[in-house]
Amino acid sequence: MAKHSLQAVMTQALQPVMSAGESPMAWKTESLRRLFNPQSVAVIGASDKPQKLGSLALKALTGFSGDVLPVNPNHSSIEGLRCFPTVQEAPLPVDLAVIALQAPQVLGAIQDCVHAGVKSAIIFSAGFRELGPEGEAVQEEVKRAADEGHIAVIGPNCLGAGNINIGLNATFFPHPVELRRGEVSLVSQSGGVAGVMIYAASDAGLGIAKFASIGNRVNIDFHDMLRFLSQDDETGVICLFVEGTEYGRLMYEEMARVTSRKPVIVYKVGKTPASRRAAKSHTGSLAGLHELYSAAVKQAGAVEVESVAEMIDSAKVFEYTGSRSPSEGVAILTHTLGPALIAAQILEEQGLSLPLPSEKTALAIEEMLSMPVHVPISNPVDLLAQGWADPRIFAGAFKLILQEEQYGAVMTVFSPNYQEEIGGGMPVHEMVEMTRQSGKTVVAVLNSPELRAPPGKAVLEDGGIPVFSSPERAARALANVLHRRATGG
């Protein structure tokens, strides 16, 4: 389908789900800026009972360097912090109100926030539009009050939000692992999936800038988050988990604007009847036609993935390799052909080319190997046992391959040895320096257990070469990145 006709189809199909009169509101971006960069956070519904959300929210804020203000009329202090009867009685302006109350109390809390001049809010509780018409009416009242007060609201029915760079964890779930600071921001409709994304990023060594679980989207939807993150200097890559939205056209338009400057990775569920029904009951979202969403994502220049793992892997390659060569030609360099063939098959299935090295380079690599019989050099480039035993051979072949103009990216596949006295090891320091000089994208596969970091992994990743233990995951992530760069993203 021609580009202009596809856009016309999407515009026509997405138009009915855009609320009449909906337009970008400048105050939302400023309110979100306060939400993710607060100097003060009020916890409305703070509690001294460990099992309550109000207690968990206070614990989650332990690492926050700003002011934390518990609000509960039944306490004078909680956890050594002075407690205030209402948010209006807080002794300083409140940038963010975390509302840990049951659904019937939320509207009154939002109205209090409006009167107190609170700049933004997060609502944890469920019991709104996901329950049907009655809950939807209550949510609409909350939206009206928040909009009138120019308060951007994350939620309701959500996990919350955070900014790793300032130690802000405005959720009811204290992080069980330390999160690395980085430039990838995560936005999920589901609180549970937000957790999956955060911990998958942690396991992958991926740095996070900001995260948000937007839940029922009372007045902050995906297009609002895209607009905000597009202007956020700390965010370089945006990841979205989408169940559905009533503002499909606005999401598409914002996505198209963002992708010219920042990669956007989208994982959309709702392909099957059961998942569409569950999305409606989960966050009250309109799942829509999957084919239409996929076409819109592609047309907008974003990357669509099929799992959280693929999302995080792709984000990792984007973060580590930056804006390097857009060429889609890939070389695979290895000493163990089987895993390299797996990667080659996936890359070609994804439409990437694996051209042969030039005759000059092939002959030079053959000379390095000094085999008693002729072993033709192809792609994947198999260095045999010599490439594993002698780091000079691997480094020399790597240099030659990087110099080939037809390759915009190189994947290395290596089986590291955990016994230092056996084998030569991977020439990681040389690889980092040569990659830096070449300006090309390099991804490394180290065949190793997930729970035991292989030798050289830290050196490679510190030098801008992302490392994977799986050739399948590395190949899919690399294909996503190269396709986006080839289309001008």
Q: Could you report the per-residue pLDDT of 386-430, keeping only the tens digit for each?
A: 999 999 999 999 999 999 999 999 999 999 876 665 556 899 999
Residue 291: the pLDDT is 80
pLDDT above 60 for 284:
no
Q: With a cut of 90, say whether residue 164 has pLDDT above it.
A: yes
pLDDT tens-digit map of 293-327: 888 999 999 999 999 999 999 999 999 998 776 67
Distance CA 408, CA 19 (A): 44
CA-based torsion, 77, 173, 51, 129: positive or negative: positive
303: helix, strand or coil: strand
At residue 282, the pLDDT reads 47
Return the minimum-mean-pLDDT range out of 22-31, 35-44, 302-311, 313-322. Answer: 22-31
Sign of the alpha-carbon torsion through 229, 231, 232, 236:
positive
Pairwise CA distance, residues 404 & 164, whole Å: 40
Residue % of the chain over a pLDDT of 90: 78
Q: Which CATH class is domain 21-319?
A: alpha beta
pLDDT mean across residues, the chain:
90
d(CA 198, CA 194): 6
- Tell me what pLDDT residue 485 has: 87
Segment among 143-152, 429-438, 451-460 with least mean pLDDT: 451-460
- In angstroms and rounded to an integer, the radius of gyration of the C-alpha atoms of the chain is 25
236-to-36, 260, 319, 321 alpha-carbon distances in Å:
16, 12, 7, 12
Assigned token pair, 136: 């939807």
Which pLDDT value is given to residue 24? 52
Q: Which amino acid is at 100?
A: A
CA 132 vs. chain centroid, Å, equals 31
What pLDDT does 4 receive?
42
Q: Does position 9 have pLDDT exceeding 50, yes or no?
A: no
Placement of tokens 């907008």 in the chain:
300
Q: Which of 6, 8, 78 is nearest to 45 (CA)?
A: 78
pLDDT of amino acid 199: 95
**How far is 222 from 235, CA to CA, in rounded Å?**
15
Strand order in the sheet with 441-446: 381-382, 330-334, 409-414, 441-446, 467-468
Kindly state the tokens that stand for 267: 């994982």
Asked if residue 478 lies in contact with residue 330, where contact means CB atoms within 8 angstroms, the answer is: yes
- pLDDT score, position 423: 54
**pLDDT for position 375:** 86
Q: Stretch 266-274: mean pLDDT, rounded? A: 81
Q: What is the pLDDT of residues 206-264, one digit of tens each?
A: 999 999 999 999 999 999 999 999 999 999 999 999 998 889 899 999 999 999 999 99
Give the pLDDT of residue 6.
Answer: 44
Instruction: Check pLDDT > 70 for residue 7.
Output: no
Buried b (16+ CB within 10 A) or exposed e, 256-294: bebbeebbbbbbbbbeeeeebeebbebbbbebbeeeebe
Question: How buried is 97 (Cβ within 10 angstroms: 0-12 exposed, 13-18 middle, 19+ buried)?
Answer: buried
Cα distance between residue 457 and residue 62, in whole Å: 32
- Helix, strand, coil distribution of the chain in percent, nearest 5: 45, 15, 40
Q: What is the pLDDT of residue 34?
A: 98
Confidence at residue 444, expressed as pLDDT on a 0 to 100 scale: 98
Secondary structure of residue 354 in the 3-state scheme: coil
Backbone φ and ψ for 363, nearest 5 degrees, come out as -65, -40
> What is the token pair recorded at 253?
């338009």
Residues 450, 455: Cα–Cα separation, whole Å: 13
When mean pLDDT is compared across 183-192, 323-332, 427-436, 450-459, the lowest value belongs to 323-332
Domains of the chain, by residue range, sit at 21-319, 323-486
Specify the DSSP class assigned to residue 84. B
Q: What is the rounded distance in angstroms from the CA atom of residue 245 to the CA atom of residue 360?
A: 55
- CATH top class, domain 323-486: alpha beta
Q: Identify the CA nearest to 224 among candidates 99, 308, 120, 76.
A: 120
In degrees and rounded to multiples of 5, residue 112 shows phi and psi of -60, -40
Q: Do domains 21-319 and 323-486 have the same CATH topology?
A: yes
Where does the pLDDT of residue 290 fall: very low under 50, low under 70, confident under 90, or very high at 90 and above?
confident
Q: How far apart are CA 459 and CA 87, in angstroms?
A: 49
Residue 440 has pLDDT above 60, yes or no: yes
Identify the three-state secondary structure at position 238: strand
